[in-house]
A = this chain, B = another copy of it.
Amino acid sequence: MNIVLLGSGNVATHLGRAFKMAGQTIVQVWSRDVEHARELADTLASEAISDMDDINRTADLYIIAVKDNAIRELALTLNIGDKLIVHTSGSTSLQALDGVSGHTGVFYPLQTFSKNKAVDFRQVPIAIEANNPEDLAAIRAIADRISERVTELNSAQRKALHVAAVFACNFTNHLISISQQLLEDENLDFDLLRPLIAETASKVQLYDPATVQTGPAVREDNEIINSHLEMLRDQPELQDLYRKLSQSIVNLHKQTRG
């Protein structure tokens, strides 16, 4: 299968690698900045382009993996006839590709991608969507080549999944950044926290997260909570987050117990 990849960011990079490892051909990588296109294209034995006029019009699949707010504009500049085109966004509806081709779809890989960290793509859930069963079947066949976890979601479900992923990944990673800063303030090594972070994620592979909640908030140990808030008195933003998150834990577990 011949694929044109539009975009050169984290998602484009990891998708390109996954398809290449699965024996597919990335014929071109497009990016507004040809240097960015080349950097990725070189690792995929692919051609780098930045001019839309140079696009290969005979590929089997066109993957738009750019920032959400650039998807529609870019799609409308594509001039490739009735080819199969997908975007990779969690929060953009399928309709963003309306009028671009008769065969459009969504191909949303749910994972946190950083360029220099390899990922086992076979385990990455891919949420797919299309306007008709034929296109959906075609997209599913493509997704099956790189992942064991392909699932059909409509645009509303995919968006809910994306919001959930922001909480479960982006926000948790940020809280971990905060924890590293708190350690650095006391000249403590972040390695002290790494086993705890690994175990926190390991637990929820087996259990529902609410059932393994630990810490002062779920115990409603206000003495500890207040002493922690006092410790954070010079960092009002962190103090506010600590207070809000503790209250949210109390609220959730009152509900559950109630």
Contacts and interface: CB of A to CB of B under 8 A. Distances in A.
Interface of A: 10, 67-69, 91, 110-114, 117, 119, 123-125, 127, 149, 151, 153, 156-157, 159-180, 182-183, 185-186, 188, 190, 192-219, 221, 223-224, 227-228, 231-232, 237, 240-242, 244-245, 248-249, 251-252
- 6 A-B pairs with the lowest CB-CB distances in the bound complex, closest first: A170-B215, A201-B201, A168-B179, A164-B179, A172-B172, A164-B182
Contacts of A221: 67-69
Contacts of A203: 112, 114, 117, 173
A170 B218 contact: yes
A140 B183 CA distance: 22
A232 B10 CA distance: 27
A179 B208 CA distance: 11
B177 A164 contact: no
B214 A169 contact: yes
Nearest to A198: B201
Given A174-B252, A194-B205, A203-B114, A159 B125 contact: no
Nearest to A156: B186
B179 A175 contact: no
6 contacts: A160-B182, A166-B216, A170-B215, A170-B216, A173-B203, A175-B245
A207 B163 CA distance: 24
Contacts of A114: 203, 207, 211-212, 214
Contact of A173 (B123, B212, B228): B212
Nearest to A213: B173
Contact of A112 (B151, B161, B212): B212
Given A117-B207, A215-B166, A186 B160 contact: yes
A172 B200 contact: yes
A215 B169 CA distance: 8
Given A200-B201, A219-B67, A221-B69, A214 B173 contact: yes
A150 to B, nearest CB: 11
Contact of A204 (B124, B176, B215): B176
B193 A164 contact: yes
Contacts of A195: 110-111, 123-125, 149
